[in-house]
């Protein structure tokens, strides 16, 4: 006679393994890494500007130096001035306007946390940004008149962030 019986079996359970992964740093991409560097030994300064831009030195004026940076068609221009008169204002509609703080934006001029820059101020209008700061009885000014390039405001801020004194 054949008797069918069930033989109990023990179910095997697998032990879960825990994998711990170490966090890894995601490298920050420097948008200015492939930019050109403008260096001026007379005023002991340098900063970067986009690789596809060019610059044009204007004749020295009575108060200092003026240099234009921009796209080849000059539709997007940033003007850099070094002035000997420390007059931190600009002319608007024929009147001098004192530079005011740029509303809500943080302004970064290179590594200005060292206290080397005596004064930073800025103004912003629908058509331009203007930033000025002083060191060693000179005023340094960047003026950005908006062109046809959509990201030109970002470029202006990135140029300012690369500025440094070389003395």
Q: Among residues of the chain, what percentage have pLDDT more than 90? A: 8
| Of 80 and 11, more confident | 80
Nearest CA to 63 out of 88, 78, 82, 45 is that of 82
Domains and CATH numbers, the chain: 36-165 (3.40.1000)
Q: What is the mean pLDDT of residues 66-85?
A: 78
Selection from 54, 47, 82 nearest residue 68 by Cα = 54
Going by C-beta distance under 8 Å and a sequence separation of 6 or more, which residues neighbour residue 109? 117, 120, 131, 133, 160, 161, 163
Model pLDDT, residue 137: 73
pLDDT tens for each residue of 81-132: 887 665 444 444 444 445 444 444 455 666 654 434 444 555 555 566 777 7
Pairing mode, if any, of strands 164-165 and 45-49? antiparallel
pTM for the whole thing?
0.65
Q: What does pLDDT average to over the chain?
A: 70
Q: What is the mean pLDDT of residues 20-40?
A: 86
Which pLDDT score is estimated for 104? 41
- What's the pLDDT score for residue 37? 96
What phi and psi, each to the nearest 5 degrees, are found at residue 53? Answer: -90, 170
Answer with the residue of higher pLDDT: 111 or 23.
23
Q: How far is CA 5 from the centre of its chain?
A: 81
State the CB neighbour count (10 A cutoff) for residue 48: 20
């Amino acid at each position: 006679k054949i008797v069918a019986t069930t033989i109990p079996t023990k179910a095997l359970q697998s032990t879960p393994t825990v994998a711990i992964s170490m966090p890894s740093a995601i490298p920050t991409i420097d948008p200015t890494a492939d930019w050109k560097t403008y260096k001026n030994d007379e005023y002991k300064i340098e900063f970067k500007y986009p690789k596809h831009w060019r610059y044009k030195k204007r004749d020295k004026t009575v108060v200092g130096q003026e240099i234009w940076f921009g796209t080849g068609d000059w539709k997007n221009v940033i003007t850099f001035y070094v002035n000997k008169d420390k007059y931190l204002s600009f002319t608007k509609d024929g009147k001098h306007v004192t530079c005011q703080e740029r509303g809500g934006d943080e302004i970064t001029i290179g590594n200005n946390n060292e206290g080397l820059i005596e004064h930073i101020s800025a103004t912003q209008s629908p058509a331009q940004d203007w930033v000025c700061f002083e060191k060693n009885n000179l005023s340094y000014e960047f003026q950005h008149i908006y062109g046809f390039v959509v990201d030109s405001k970002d470029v202006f801020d990135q140029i300012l962030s690369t500025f440094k004194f070389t003395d």
